[in-house]
């Protein structure tokens, strides 16, 4: 049996802890926040499960992961169908026949295709796009780009589209059917009663001890010398005291308020796609559970993207060549200086994992750790 120290009680750390305890190992979990569950944390307010760190929709192609997660919660059949608000004009997402008919009055796929092709030709972009703007124009033409992509992307990245590299948008899915289901995965839903219960159940084993409000870095040497095998799900660059330099992250600011209405915006997710409105999304949480909650009340969150500086929450790793190379250098340091530490999860592996990928990756670690 091994004694484990799991740093971080998010989905990765909790999945690992659950599986390790199931195999008879002792696991101490430390968490710097005052609650478990990392970024999938949900909390009940006015009878509504509020996604405290941004809208989380579970979706996956992997049947085994879908079945795995059902052990910990019953899921509803929520289908993500966000809408876009561009200066007050409302469009369906993802880009599909509903969007095209609203944009141009077209009715058939052939008409929509012809319109996009015409706009791509007229955009006059170089054959090899040199920036995100040219890339997007070459893929979907002017109207979709100007109304639904440009402002949103610029807010998300905090930079002009002409100053962003073209590879950020490799392809833009356009669907020539009337279908507002954002994801093409066969399994999708929201846990009835929120996500936190999943982590609670994962961490319920008597062999697991959870300590909140405990930052690994406050006692780093002590933990490293504890003889425990460490599963670290925090930031890998911070673990090494940024010795090789900082990895880049994007952060977010959430403003959440209770409103005295039953139904504020008629949809769980509304994207604001113009450049002037500073937030990117407005979430009305009750719609994830089909309107559950106290009568006359709703909870709404505005999501503002922002640059990341030390001390901010690192919500998104910035996937580019430079960061990938720096991350690789950090992983070389692991072998050299921290061979009893395994780095996992979104921050430890510096990967934009969705929840299903996070679980899959934790289960892979379980297999290698326990030689299965």
Q: Which of 358, 360, 365, 369 binds ligand FAD (CB under 6 A)?
A: 358
Q: Which of 147, 152, 92, 146 is nearest to 278 (CA)?
A: 152
Q: Which of 151, 234, 293, 317 binds ligand FAD (CB under 6 A)?
A: 234
Least separation in angstroms between residue 43's CB and ligand FAD is: 14
Under rule CB under 6 A, which residues in 170-199 are in contact with ligand FAD?
A: none
Angle, nearest 10°, between helix axes 132-140 and 109-123? 140
Q: Which of 154, 345, 350, 360 binds ligand FAD (CB under 6 A)?
A: 345
31 scored as a contact of ligand FAD (CB under 6 A): yes
Q: Which of 315, 327, 330, 343 binds ligand FAD (CB under 6 A)?
A: 315
Q: Which of 225, 224, 237 is nearest to 314 (CA)?
A: 237
**Which residue lies nearer to ligand FAD by CB, 57 or 139?**
57
**Which residue lies nearer to ligand FAD by CB, 234 or 293?**
234
Under rule CB under 6 A, which residues in 248-277 are in contact with ligand FAD?
A: 252
**Which residue lies nearer to ligand FAD by CB, 4 or 12?**
12
Least separation in angstroms between residue 118's CB and ligand FAD is: 34
Q: Which of 9, 25, 280, 323 binds ligand FAD (CB under 6 A)?
A: 9
302 scored as a contact of ligand FAD (CB under 6 A): no
135 scored as a contact of ligand FAD (CB under 6 A): no
Q: Which of 13, 94, 141, 317 binds ligand FAD (CB under 6 A)?
A: 13
DSSP 46-68: TTEEEETTS---EEES-HHHHHH
Least separation in angstroms between residue 132's CB and ligand FAD is: 21
* Contact status, residue 18 vs residue 365, Cβ threshold 8 Å: no
216 scored as a contact of ligand FAD (CB under 6 A): yes
**Which residue lies nearer to ligand FAD by CB, 106 or 318?**
318
- The residues, any chain, with a CB within 8 Å of residue 49's CB and separated by 6 or more, are 42, 43, 193, 194, 195, 285, 288, 289, 292
**Which residue lies nearer to ligand FAD by CB, 125 or 203?**
203
Three-state SS for 284? strand
3-state SS of 208-232? EEEECCCCHHHHHHHHHCCCCEEEE
Least separation in angstroms between residue 87's CB and ligand FAD is: 25
Produce one character per residue of 210-229: b if its CB has 16 or more CB atoms within 10 Å, e if not.
Answer: beeebebeeeeeebbeeebb
What mask of x and - would describe binding to ligand FAD in positions 53 to 92, judged by CB under 6 A?
Answer: xxxxxx----------------------------------
Angle (nearest 5°) at CA 64 between 58 and 69: 45
Beta strands in the chain (DSSP E): 3-7, 26-30, 42-45, 48-51, 58-60, 83-86, 89-92, 187-189, 208-211, 229-232, 249-259, 269-272, 281-284, 298-307, 316-317, 341-343
Options 18-26, 28-36, 104-112, 281-289: segment touching ligand FAD (CB under 6 A): 28-36
| Helix or strand (DSSP H, E) at 19 | helix 11-22
**Which residue lies nearer to ligand FAD by CB, 61 or 121?**
61
* Contact status, residue 73 vs residue 191, Cβ threshold 8 Å: yes
10 scored as a contact of ligand FAD (CB under 6 A): yes
The rounded distance, in Å, linking the Cα atoms of 270 and 255 is 15
297 scored as a contact of ligand FAD (CB under 6 A): no
Number of C-alpha atoms within 13 angstroms, CB side, residue 125?
Answer: 22
147 scored as a contact of ligand FAD (CB under 6 A): no
Q: Site residues (CB under 6 A) for ligand FAD?
A: 7-13, 30-33, 38-40, 53-58, 215-217, 233-234, 252, 315, 345-347, 353-356, 358
């Amino acid at each position: 049996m091994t004694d484990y120290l799991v740093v971080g009680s998010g989905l990765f750390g909790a999945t690992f802890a659950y599986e390790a305890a199931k195999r008879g190992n002792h696991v101490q979990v430390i968490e710097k926040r005052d609650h478990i569950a990392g970024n999938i944390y949900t909390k009940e307010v006015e009878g509504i499960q509020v996604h405290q760190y941004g809208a989380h929709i579970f979706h996956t192609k992997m049947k085994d992961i879908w079945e795995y997660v059902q052990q910990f919660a019953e899921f509803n059949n929520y289908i993500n169908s966000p809408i876009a608000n561009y200066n007050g004009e409302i469009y369906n997402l993802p880009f599909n026949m509903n969007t095209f008919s609203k944009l141009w009055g077209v009715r058939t796929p052939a008409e929509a295709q012809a319109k996009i092709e015409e706009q791509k030709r007229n955009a006059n972009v170089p054959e090899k796009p040199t920036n995100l703007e040219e890339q997007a124009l070459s893929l979907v033409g002017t109207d979709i780009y100007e109304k639904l992509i440009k402002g949103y992307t610029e807010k998300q990245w905090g930079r002009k589209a002409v100053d962003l590299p073209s590879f950020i948008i490799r392809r833009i899915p356009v669907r020539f059917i009337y279908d507002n289901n954002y994801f093409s995965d066969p399994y999708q839903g929201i846990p009835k009663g929120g996500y936190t219960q999943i982590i609670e159940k994962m961490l319920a084993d008597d062999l697991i001890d959870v300590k909140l409000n405990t930052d690994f870095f406050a006692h780093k040497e002590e933990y490293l010398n504890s003889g425990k095998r460490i599963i670290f799900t925090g930031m890998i660059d911070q673990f090494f005291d940024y010795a090789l330099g900082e990895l880049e992250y994007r952060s977010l600011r959430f403003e959440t308020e209770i409103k005295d209405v039953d139904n504020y915006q008629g949809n769980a997710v509304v994207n604001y796609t113009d450049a002037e409105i500073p937030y990117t999304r407005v979430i009305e949480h009750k719609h994830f559970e089909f309107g559950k909650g106290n009568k006359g009340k709703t909870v709404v969150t505005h999501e503002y993207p922002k640059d990341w500086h030390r001390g901010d929450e690192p919500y998104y790793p910035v996937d580019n060549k430079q960061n990938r190379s720096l991350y690789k250098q950090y992983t070389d340091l692991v072998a050299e200086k921290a061979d009893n530490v395994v780095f996992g999860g979104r921050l430890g592996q510096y990967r934009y994992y969705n929840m299903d990928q996070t679980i899959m990756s934790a289960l892979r670690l379980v297999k290698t750790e326990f030689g299965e």
